[in-house]
Structure 1
Amino acid sequence: MNSYQALSAYYDRFTDDVGYADWADFFERLFAREGIQPKLVLDLACGTGSLTRILAERGYEMIGADASPEMLMQAMQNTMDCEPRPLFLNQRMEALDLYGTVDACLCCLDSINYVTEPQTLQKAFERVHLFLEPKSGLFVFDINTPEKFACMDGNAYVREDEDVFCVWQAAVEDSLCAYQFDIFAREGGKWTRAQETHEERIYTVEQLTDMLEKAGFSEIKTYGDQSFAPVRGGEDRIYFTARKRD
């Protein structure tokens, strides 16, 4: 997993096209499809808390967990006027440690790919399973697909506004995709530069299904990008749902 020490301050500017409300709509349709009405929801790898806030506003009791203290600081600022306010925890996925069980766990925006060691991800799945409510607990996450990473390989991307310029390039090798970020920010009359490197691992549906089963999950399902269509190949993003066994 990677730190967002420099990127955290600008993350929301660079992801203003994500459409978090659409994600929340999709998750609520998933809840209905799975026949559950969760009250307490964990937003795992919650980042700056954009989704956490929307779900809190829709009446869910929210817990947000993230490995980056910088991202959590943004999340706390973004949810200051929520009532009740979400609880935020500075925890890595594989070290998840809650005070009790949750009804559902959501892990969004390819955060699973950011766990680059398979054995660490296996441990993370086991921790999620441990803290889900028995019988009804639902785990939902998405991944970037191998096909998407193949299209990204070697490409460069730019996001900018009047005060910040960010450029990054993706490079794929040995099932890992590395992003080198260069961030130029204007402060007064000067520009400062910061650099970060992030990595994501390319996982297949088969690998993740096997890991979920080993962690104790059942009723594992996969869907195309924010749809209930079966995975046919060529998707950029795939969603997983899994239930905690009785």
Structure 2
Amino acid sequence: MLELGCGTGTMTELLAEEGYDMIGVDNSEEMLAEAMEKRVESGHDILYLLQDMQEFELYGTVRAVVSVCDSLNYLTEEEDLLQVFRLVNNYLDPGGIFIFDMNTVYKYAEILGDTTIAENREEGSFIWENTFDPESLLNEYALTLFLKREDGLYEKSEEIHYQRAYPKERIRALLEKAGLEVLSVYDAYTLSPDRKDSGRLTFIAREKEKKQQINEKQTVGGLYE
């Protein structure tokens, strides 16, 4: 199984614990370094690859691909999202499954919007300043972190992240354009249908083109037996 945007390997480790042979792809050296530390601690045989998800390459096909924690929302260009879907289709076994989540337009517009969130924790504090453009569907959030050091002082760091909201029907259209068949869309990680106020959607899609080709070959072969 392949996880795209695996980050520090939290989900990868959980799936490996369930017995899956895992491959993790991420474009952050720092996050993969943490993932590999977890791998040493757990002893799981996980292959981590430093690659951009819109250009990832594997040595062969996999039975399933997963992507969680709105990793695909970081693809702010539609062509990049389509390219990822095409690569997923290419590297899935015939009839293989693709499971992923994405934040919704509703979440960015109505829940996050133009808000500021501040929180204090034992290990430090953070300030989240969010801005959403309803025309471009681009979301920007600036994080200011104050992390407590061993000497009791705080170290400040700043990050800016960009994500894009994609309407559900547009995601469905891009999946189908890439050769994937949409099986189900759920409200977050439940088995309930998606709603207008869903903040996150989980899609389940299946590779269909290679499956169709195999069925066609079997049918043609049967005609001449």
State the TM-score bracket (shorter-chain normalisation). Answer: 0.7 to 0.9
Q: CA deviation at 1:184?
A: 1.4
1:209/1:220 contact within 8 Å kept = no
Q: How do residues 137-152 of structure 1 correspond to structure 2 at under 5 angstroms?
A: 137-150=96-109, 151-152=111-112
Question: Aligned partners of 2:116 and 2:137: how far apart in 1?
Answer: 19
2:125 aligned with 1:194, yes or no? no
Contact 1:96/1:128 (<8 A) preserved: no
Partner of 2:145: 183
Taking the aligned partners of 1:186 and 1:230, their CA distance within structure 2 comes to 42
Q: Which has the larger radius of gyration?
A: 2
Moved over 4 A (4+): none
Q: Taking structure 2 as the reference length, what is the TM-score of the superposition?
A: 0.86
Q: Percent identity?
A: 36
Residues 20-56 of structure 1 deviation map (CA, whole Å, 9 limit, x = unaligned): xxxxxxxxxxxxxxxxxxxxx1111011111111111
| Residue pair 2:176, 2:182 contacting (<8 A) in 1 also | no
Q: 2:76 matched to which residue of 1?
A: 116
Q: Distance in 1 between matches of 2:123 and 2:43?
A: 33
Q: Distance in 2 between matches of 1:226 and 1:234?
A: 15
Q: CA RMSD in A?
A: 1.4
Measured in 1, the distance between the counterparts of 2:156 and 2:192 equals 43
**Superposed displacement of residue 233, structure 1:** 1.4
CA contact (8 A) 1:106 1:141 kept: yes
When the two structures are aligned, how many residues end up with a matched partner?
A: 205
SS at match of 1:97: coil
Q: CA deviation at 1:160?
A: 3.5
Task: State the shift of 1:81 in Å.
Answer: 3.0
Equivalent-residue separation in structure 1 for 2:29 and 2:123 (angstroms)? 24
Q: Which residue of 1 is the match for residue 176 of structure 2?
A: 213
Q: 2:167 aligns with which of 180, 200, 204?
A: 204
After TM superposition, list the pairs within 5 Å mapping 1:47-196 onto structure 2.
47-135=7-95, 137-150=96-109, 151-173=111-133, 174-187=136-149, 188-196=151-159
How far the C-alpha of 1:238 sits from its partner, in A, is 0.8
Deviation of 1:221 after TM superposition, in Å, equals: 2.1
The code of the aligned residue for 1:144 comes to N
